[in-house]
Amino acid sequence: AQTVTQSQPEMSVQEAETVTLSCTYDTSENNYYLFWYKQPPSRQMILVIRQEAYKQQNATENRFSVNFQKAAKSFSLKISDSQLGDTAMYFCAFREETSGSRLTFGEGTQLTVNP
């Protein structure tokens, strides 16, 4: 069974600083996709960044980047120059290429950016 683990229920960071959110997953597949979603108080899930397992290069999107360690089954999210608007719940998610249909989510990390 696929599992996604986020070991940090809550984290906080000062504005303009850098923070890293951890995620590990378990799969027997070789081809899969990893995502970080952000859920602000509005409840809408917003895609932050995604990574294909067959790509060795870590994905980056502006201030957001990932550290993808396939052998260790680790997929951490780094947020640089944190902004107050980054305050949200962050979910790591996993999707196998073969299953196609569902995303499996971690339990989430509540990130608070302090002024």
Partner 1 sequence: GAGVSQSPSNKVTEKGKDVELRCDPISGHTALYWYRQSLGQGLEFLIYFQGNSAPDKSGLPSDRFSAERTGGSVSTLTIQRTQQEDSAVYLCASSRGSTAWGGTIYFGEGSWLTVV
Give the residues lining the site for partner 1 (CB under 8 A): 4, 32-33, 37, 42-47, 50, 52, 91, 93, 95-97, 100-108
Between 80 and 105, name the residue whose CB sits nearer to partner 1: 105
CB of 9 to partner 1, least distance (A): 9
Between 18 and 55, name the residue whose CB sits nearer to partner 1: 55
Between 85 and 100, name the residue whose CB sits nearer to partner 1: 100
CB of 40 to partner 1, least distance (A): 10
Structure tokens at 45: 């899930």
E-state strands within 6-114: 10-14, 19-21, 24-26, 32-39, 46-52, 60-61, 64-69, 74-79, 88-96, 104-105, 109-114
CB of 66 to partner 1, least distance (A): 16
CB of 75 to partner 1, least distance (A): 15
Q: Is 43 exposed, middle or buried (0-12, 13-18, 19+ CB in 10 A)?
A: exposed
Between 42 and 62, name the residue whose CB sits nearer to partner 1: 42
- 55 contacts: CB under 8 Å, gap ≥ 6: none
**Phi, psi torsion values for 60, nearest 5 degrees:** -140, 145
